[in-house]
């Protein structure tokens, strides 16, 4: 059963990010350019929740030590040699579904 509904996330706004649990896993959801992206809610540096950071102008920034990531891909911007773990998403019937076993 890989696809799981991200409960209560169907109303995610453009430019918004929120955290939720999917099958017990902390997941960060964000919407950018009309697309929903999902990531494991942990920074690649020291695992601080990315949902406690900032999402602005397409960049996710960790609150702890300012690691910055491309919000559309999870690729590190500064530093460039890190990456957030990305999950596949889909929208159906006004709900967001996440597969934490599959990359986008
Ligand atoms: S834990 Fe995110 S930058 Fe250090």
* CATH of residue 87: 2.102.10.10
Calculate the alpha carbon distances from 85 to 26, 72, 93 in Å: 12, 12, 26
First to last CA, the chain: 17
Within-domain flag for 15? yes
The model carries a pTM of: 0.94
Within-domain flag for 104? no
Within-domain flag for 74? yes
Question: What one-character DSSP code corresponds to residue 83?
Answer: B
Q: How far is the CA of 42 from the centre of ligand 1 (A)?
A: 9
Domain of 32 in residue numbering reads as 3-99
pLDDT 10s digits, 19-66: 999 989 999 999 999 999 999 999 999 999 999 999 999 999 999 999
Residue whose CA is at the smallest distance from ligand 1 atom 3: 65
pLDDT value at residue 98: 96
Within-domain flag for 13? yes
Within-domain flag for 75? yes
pLDDT at 72 over 90: yes
Ligand 1 environment, Cβ below 6 A: 43, 45-46, 48, 62, 64-65, 67
Please choose from 28, 65, 81 the residue to mutate so as to test ligand 1's pocket, defined by most ligand atoms within 8 A of CB.
65
SS3 state at 100? coil
Within-domain flag for 73? yes
Q: How many domains does the chain have?
A: 1
Within-domain flag for 21? yes
How far is Cα 14 from Cα 43, in angstroms, rounded to an integer? Answer: 22
pLDDT value at residue 1: 60
Beta carbons of 73 and 88 less than 8 angstroms apart: no
Q: Which atom of ligand 1 is nearest to the CA of 43?
A: 2
């Amino acid at each position: 059963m890989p696809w799981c509904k991200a409960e209560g996330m169907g109303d995610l706004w453009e430019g918004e990010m929120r955290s939720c649990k999917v099958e017990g896993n902390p997941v960060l959801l964000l919407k950018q350019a009309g697309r929903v992206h999902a990531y494991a809610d942990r920074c690649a540096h020291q695992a601080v929740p990315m949902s406690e950071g900032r999402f602005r102008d397409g960049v996710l920034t960790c609150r702890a030590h300012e690691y910055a990531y491309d919000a559309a891909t999870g690729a590190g911007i500064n530093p460039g040699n890190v990456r957030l773990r990305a999950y596949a998403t889909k929208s159906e019937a006004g709900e967001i579904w996440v597969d934490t076993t599959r990359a986008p």
